Structure 1
């Protein structure tokens, strides 16, 4: 009787959490038609505040290590390209013009870049220098990361992780699962739920970034060049199954398919790049 009651209570708590999970569409579809609704459990303001705090810590650590904005010319270049892209963000969501955007550069050989919730951007020098990115190619990278922020993918991922924690801790523990069983269940849940969503998010950021760069006057074909360079560097290949990103060939094919949609926007921008 007690175990039955625990299972019922766990199910009731999980059902209550699920009921509070709102379905939202964070952006307009744009020319590329990104219209997927997203499950959001956590408030946008809270995630933005947490992201701002985390970003401030990253800046502090980078500054203390002497690795923050050490290349003045590259930092200026990244910020100028970012400004052109950020100016186009209202095409997807008008409120983004009021975000407190920050753009910084971290000196490291790692090839990476990210944008936290609310427009906190970091570009690693490794991705620019090792891939020898042109301005248009750098715009493709930045447009991709900015699109993650516009779609609030951080908030969506955190909501999913929170739901898993609620589901596993409340239902699992109340049902009498051991800690090792919960760890295994968490791994299975991650592979089953998070990986496909992550691939979807990456694809959304790819095509939205393509539109942002086209609107800003950067040749959208440069996005294809980036992934060809990534493949040549050994970072765009590998099996797509169980990957958090689309495979290089899939990514390139999808980008090429969307270029005709954004090409008129690039032409209208006057081909400034």
Structure 2
């Protein structure tokens, strides 16, 4: 059996063994143990705490912790029972994140755009959605598999030549635009919808997720064309959130009728 056949069979075996499903039922590709990804997340978070100032505002930290706690309280058992750590970083980035290993970071700059508890909950729910859907593992796995396939193809493609080099440089760009970036946009859209569900169950107004992205647009978003961006455009996000709104809004309205909506601020 020649090298090409062996390689094809090996790649097929990896693909078959690495398939799983996200919380929305989307088929995904994961190669690495979750424990390894979690360890990477914890290491990155600890490094950030050493490098980025942490907010000294007790009120800000209390508000953010309250929002995060309510989101965590409605997670599936596997995630709710973990020891989540929430840190507010004193930095004007309009951003937040959640890392494998159960770490949540919020930058104070985000609070200038997410102007109420429900808008902040939309961001925190979205970021936690990335963790629930194992997007970090999927992203690393996709990049690892893509690079290995291109490297292997280069080895099997024969003698060195300018034409061969140009073809594989083009394939590398094609893989980035055609595989890795769309996967990332799919992750963002999926995290938006997971976050919408989480924030509503936690007692936050899901309609504020749309207002948040309107605020983001007004504050000036990315000018990169959507096809070449890792994130959907603000208008695409707003459309997708609006389409996914009826179910979460019904959940939230029921909590309001029972007096169980969130009251963090």
TM-score tier (shorter): 0.7 to 0.9
Q: CA deviation at 1:207?
A: 1.2
1:150-169 equivalences in 2 (<5 Å): 150-169=132-151
Report which stretch shifted further, 113-122 or 176-185: 176-185
Structure 2 unaligned segments of length 5 or more: list them: none
From the superposition, tell whether residues 103 and 184 of structure 1 become closer, same or farther in structure 2 (CA, over 3 Å). Answer: farther
CA distance in 2, matches of 1:172, 1:16: 21
Q: What SS class does the counterpart of residue 226 from structure 2 fall into?
A: coil
Structure 1 unaligned segments of length 5 or more: list them: 28-33
Contact 1:13 1:170 in 2 (8 A): no
CA distance in 2, matches of 1:127, 1:214: 20
1:215-226 equivalences in 2 (<5 Å): 215-226=201-212
1:24 aligns with 2:14: no
From the superposition, tell whether residues 132 and 220 of structure 1 become closer, same or farther in structure 2 (CA, over 3 Å). Answer: closer
TM (norm. structure 1) is: 0.84
TM (norm. structure 2) is: 0.87
Q: CA deviation at 1:100?
A: 2.6
From the superposition, tell whether residues 15 and 179 of structure 1 become closer, same or farther in structure 2 (CA, over 3 Å). Answer: farther
Q: CA deviation at 1:117?
A: 1.2
Please report the RMSD computed on the Cα atoms of aligned residues, expressed in angstroms. Answer: 2.3
1:272 alignment counterpart:
262
1:29-68 equivalences in 2 (<5 Å): 34-62=24-52, 67-68=53-54
2:220 alignment counterpart:
234
From the superposition, tell whether residues 188 and 120 of structure 1 become closer, same or farther in structure 2 (CA, over 3 Å). Answer: same
CA distance in 2, matches of 1:40, 1:272: 35
